[in-house]
Amino acid sequence: MIGKEEKKMQTITLKLKDSVTSGSAQVPVEADVLTPDQLFGKSEAEIKAVKVWWGNKQENAGDLFDVSVSGDAGSADDVKIVFEGNLKRVKRIGAGMKAGEIEARGDVDMHVGAMMEGGRVVVKGNANCWAGGEMHGGELLIEGDAAANLCAMYRGEEKGMTGGKVTVNGSADELVGQYMAGGEILIKGNADRLAGLNMKGGKITIEGDADIPGADMTGGEITVKGTTEMMPSFKFVETAAVDGAEYKKYLGDFAMGERKAKGTLYVR
């Protein structure tokens, strides 16, 4: 098109070698060093030499993955990493990422997109626990299901996700968005027990069913479009219309006392 500059794009393909998971044990690989912002500017040879933890030893990325690079990048924003192979044993894909794109072709192990600050991660499969854990910004799409603790805080923290946008096309296991303080989560399927536990801010939408959502919430908003197993400590406020459909609006969680019960729950 006239006047439009050709966008630079670099694709780095990392295919996990079969030898990594073919033994009697499947020791996971930790991929936190393999993000667009950390690989940007590296040649193929340099990428192969990046040290990656596999159990208690650091190996060259080139010994764990078949590496190929095509195209050029002007900045980390232009870098796309494609992960292939048996990613069920690759943890921390996109963890802490600041820019660029990652596509994971298959089910992934824990902490995909955890503590992300920017950029976009797409999982073409299911994601294991803590996907999007303590996310700060950016976008995460999980085409399959998400295991427990989606976007939740890590042990002991009083604040979980603070920003960014997460979508799960399938269902999510328990504890979606625990201690959420900001950002948006959309679950197209069902959310198991205790979605939005300890929520203080942000927005969770569940298109399927939810089991005791919003427990101990003190802020934020949860909407459930399917059936809801209710907590016994929420107060009915009124019926409300949201996007043309009728919902019952509740305030909670009164188990925290009136002063703190500032969370909103919309159920059908």
Partner 1 sequence: MAEITDVVCSLCGCVCDDIVVEVEDNKVTKVKRGACSVGKSKLLGHERIKTPMLRENGELKEVSYDEAIKKAAEILYKSRRPLLYGWSSTVCEADRVGVELAEDLGGVVDNTASVCHGPSVLAIQDVGLPSCTLGEIKNRADLIIYWGANPAAAHANHMKRYSYVSKGFWTAEGKKNKKLVVVDVRQTMTSKMADVFLQIEQGKDYQIFSALRAILRGHGDVVPDNVGGIAKEQLLEVADMVKEAKFGITFFGMGVTHTGARHNNIVNAIQFTRAAHLFGKWSIMPMRGHYNVTGFNQVCCWQTGFPFSVDLTRGYPWYNPGETSSTDLLARGDCDSALIIASDPGAHFPGAALRHLAKIPVIQIDPFANPTTEFADVIIPSTISGIESPGGVYRMDNIPLRLRKILDTDYYIPDEEIVERIMEEVRALRAKEGE
Partner 2 sequence: MAAELLIRNGVVYDPINGVKGEKKDIFIRDGKIVESVSNPKVIDAEGRVIMPGGVDIHAHVAGGKVNSGRLMRPEDGRKGIEPKTKVCRVQSGYSVPNTFATGYRYARMGYTFVMEAAMPPLAARHTHEEMIDIPILDNAAMPLIDNNWMTLEYIKSGNTDLLAAYIAWMIKATKGYGVKVVNPGGTEAWAWGKNCNLHDTVPYFDVTPAEIVKGLAEATEKFEMPHSIHVHTNMLGHPGNFEVTTDTYDLVKGIKPYRDRPAMHATHTQFHAYGGTTWKDFESQATHITDYVNANDHVSIDIGSIVLGDTTTMTADGPMEYDLYQITGRKWTNCDVELETGSGITPFLYSGKSPVNTIQWAIGQELALLIKDPWKVALTTDHPNAGPFIGYPIIISMLMSKKRRDELAEDVHKVIFDRTVLPSIDREYDLYEIAIITRGMTAKTLGLAEHGKGHLGVGADADLAIYDMTPEERDAGKIQKAFLNTKYTIKAGEIVVKDGEVVAAPPGKTIFVTPECEQSLMDEMLVTLKDKFDKYYSVTFNNYPVQDAYLPNPYEIKAPMRG
Q: Which residues bind partner 1 (CB under 8 A)?
A: 23-28, 30, 53-57, 110, 129-130, 148-149, 154-156, 175, 193-194, 197, 212, 215-216, 231-235, 253-258
- Binders of partner 2: how many residues, by CB under 8 A? 6
Q: Which of partner 1, partner 2, none is residue 169 near (CB under 5 to 8 Å by kind)? A: none
Nearer residue to partner 2 within complex by CB, 160 or 214 = 160
* b/e sequence 175-185, b meaning 16+ C-beta within 10 Å: bbbbbbbbbbb
Nearer residue to partner 1 within complex by CB, 78 or 216 = 216
Nearest approach, Cβ of 154 to partner 1 (angstroms)?
A: 7
54 binds partner 2 (CB under 8 A): no
Q: Which of partner 2, partner 1, none is residue 216 near (CB under 5 to 8 Å by kind)? A: partner 1
Instruction: Return the residues of window 119-158 that contact partner 2 according to CB under 8 A.
Output: 154-158
254 binds partner 2 (CB under 8 A): no
260 binds partner 2 (CB under 8 A): yes
List Cβ neighbours of 47 (8 Å cut-off, separation of 6 or more): 12, 39, 61, 62, 67, 69
Q: Which of partner 1, partner 2, none is residue 265 near (CB under 5 to 8 Å by kind)? A: none
Burial class (CB within 10 angstroms; exposed 0-12, middle 13-18, buried 19+) of 194:
buried
Assess contact for 100 and 38: CB atoms under 8 A: no
Nearest approach, Cβ of 167 to partner 1 (angstroms)?
A: 23
In 81-239, where does DSSP find H-type helix? Answer: none
* DSSP letters spanning 184-203: EEEESS-B-TTTTTT--SSE
Nearest approach, Cβ of 198 to partner 2 (angstroms)?
A: 12
Nearest approach, Cβ of 256 to partner 2 (angstroms)?
A: 9
Q: Which of partner 2, partner 1, none is residue 63 near (CB under 5 to 8 Å by kind)? A: none
Q: Which of partner 2, partner 1, none is residue 192 near (CB under 5 to 8 Å by kind)? A: none
d(CA 91, CA 54): 10
* b/e sequence 72-108, b meaning 16+ C-beta within 10 Å: ebeebbbbbbbbbbbbbbbbbbbbbbbbbbbbbbbbb
d(CA 26, CA 90): 10
d(CA 166, CA 100): 16
Summarize as ranges the residues that interact with partner 2 (CB under 8 A): 154-158, 260
